[in-house]
Structure 1
C-alpha cells in the first residue's frame, strides 16, 4: 500500500437538521475505516489493534455553507482538487 501526499479530503454533505455533525462524521469515518480494513487487512496490525493509534484523525473541520449556493461550494472543492493534482 502506498500513501499519497494528501492528508485530507473535501466533502459536500447535505443532511437533515435532526442529524448531528458528530454522528455524521462518526458514521463517515467508521464506514471508511471498515472498508479500508476490509480491502487492506495489513492496516489492522498497524492501527486498529494497537492502542492509541488511529487510522483516521479523531479531529475534523466542518463549515456550514450558509448563504453560499451549493454550486459555488462544489466548484471550490473541484478547484482544490485541481490545485492538488498540479502540485504532484
Structure 2
C-alpha cells in the first residue's frame, strides 16, 4: 500500500510529547517513540487493567486533535474525514522478545528531518 509523506521534522517531536501525556493519564510507561514520515511506532509498558483499544483510541484521538490545532498544514493530508490517523493500527505483545531488540527496531526508524 502506498503511503504519502505526512510528517516533517517538527511533527514527531510534538507528537511524542502529546502521546507521553496520554500514557501518563492511563498510568502507562512510554518506553520508546519513533516513526517515519507517515506513521509512528510507540513502545508502551502498560498494566493489565488497560485495554489496548482504549489506549490506542485515546493516543490517536488526542494526538490528532492537538496536532491539527497546532499544525493546520496537516489538513491537506486528510482523506474524506477530519482526522489524521487511519482507522487501523497494529498492536503486538513482546513478552518473549528481549526489550532491547524491540527498542532497537523502533530506534532504527527513519524519523523525518
Normalised to the residue count of structure 1, the TM-score between the two structures is: 0.70
Deviations 1:24-82 (A, max 9, x none): 101100111121122024656985xx9x5132101001110021122221011112x1x
Structure 2 spans left out of the alignment, 5+ residues: 8-35
Specify which structure has the higher proportion of strand: 2
Q: Does structure 1 residue 64 correspond to structure 2 residue 93?
A: yes
Q: How many residues align?
A: 79
Assess, with a 3 A threshold, how the Cα gap between structure 1 residues 18 and 46 changes in structure 2: closer, same or farther.
same
Structure 1: gaps (5+ residues): none
Q: TM-score, normalised to structure 2's length?
A: 0.56
Task: Give the distance between the partners of 2:96 and 2:6, measured in 1 at CA.
Answer: 36
Task: Specify the structure having the higher radius of gyration (Cα).
Answer: 1
Q: Which has the higher contact order (CA 8 A, sep 6+)?
A: 2
